[in-house]
């Protein structure tokens, strides 16, 4: 299982939110590039980079930080936040993204998302399936829908999606454990590489996520708060 630390960016700084609430942000470092370099120095190979300014603004904002991270590290970066148009996704790839995560557009403009899958290939496009009480949320988690997370994943498996990042918003930043039941339900019904996100707070949580078959796990606050040590992650891998 791939372990993927997260860097979320607001105003050029490395932050974490609680339950996706922009009012409940905590700044951990003024320099996301330095944080990325520290991850790499400890043996990490992957990074989940989220442009929260972009998610709120509905277009990419922090592409320069993506470019700098890719220039100064060898990390493989999946980038998300504000990717709503052809120009946005082109900008993400031009600035070095190895993969792009898109969720809002998959719900609101199916045709465009499917076109991206065909143009760039399923290895480059990750479906963002962020949910609250099983319902998909969009636009930096500020908008709710009636789309069920399992049906959402099923629908896009038929279109060729092979990677899905699934975040339970109610658990994000809470350090109270991941949504194992939902992840297992998805894995039992959909053939995708599922990346778990939200609530992971310990090595034991990572072992449980791995045991049910997740291809990857994204960790944010648990690292920044010292709940999970990088050396323990490397040992697990």
Report d(CA 76, CA 98) in Å as an integer: 6
Phi first, then psi, for residue 43 (nearest 5°) are 105, 5
HSE-up (13 A, CA, CB side) for residue 43? 11
Q: How many CB atoms lie within 10 A of CB 135?
A: 15
Spot the catalytic one: 130, 168, 172, 205.
130
| 130 is an active site residue | yes
> Within 13 Å and on the Cβ side, how many CA atoms surround 216?
24
Tell me which of 8, 51, 88, 172 is the catalytic residue: 8
Beta carbons of 102 and 67 less than 8 angstroms apart: no
144: left (phi over 0), alpha (psi -120 to 50) or beta: beta
Whether residue 86 lies in the annotated active site: no
Q: Integer distance in angstroms from the first to the last C-alpha of the chain?
A: 7
The C-alpha atoms of residue 222 and residue 229 are separated, in whole angstroms, by 9
Question: Active-site residues: which are they?
Answer: 8, 130
């Amino acid at each position: 299982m791939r372990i993927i630390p997260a860097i979320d960016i607001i105003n050029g700084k490395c932050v974490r939110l609680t339950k996706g609430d922009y009012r409940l942000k905590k700044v951990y470092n003024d320099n996301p590039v330095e944080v990325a370099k520290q991850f790499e120095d400890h043996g990490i190979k992957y990074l989940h980079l989220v442009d929260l300014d972009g998610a709120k603004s509905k277009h990419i904002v922090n592409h320069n930080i993506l470019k700098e991270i890719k220039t100064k590290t060898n990390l493989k970066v999946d980038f998300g936040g504000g990717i709503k148009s052809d120009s946005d996704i082109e900008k993400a790839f031009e600035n070095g993204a190895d993969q792009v995560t898109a969720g809002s557009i998959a719900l609101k403009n199916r045709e465009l998302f499917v076109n991206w899958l065909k143009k760039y290939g399923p290895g480059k496009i990750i479906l963002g399936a962020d949910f609250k009480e099983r319902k998909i949320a969009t636009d930096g988690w500020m908008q709710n829908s009636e789309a069920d997370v399992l049906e959402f994943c099923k629908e896009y498996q038929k279109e060729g999606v092979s990677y899905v990042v699934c975040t339970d918003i109610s658990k994000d930043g809470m350090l109270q454990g991941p949504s194992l039941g939902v992840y297992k339900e998805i894995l039992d019904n959909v053939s995708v590489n599922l990346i778990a996100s939200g609530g992971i707070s310990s090595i034991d949580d990572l072992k449980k996520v791995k045991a049910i078959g997740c291809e990857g796990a994204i960790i944010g606050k648990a690292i920044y708060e010292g709940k999970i040590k990088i050396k323990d992650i490397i040992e697990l891998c």
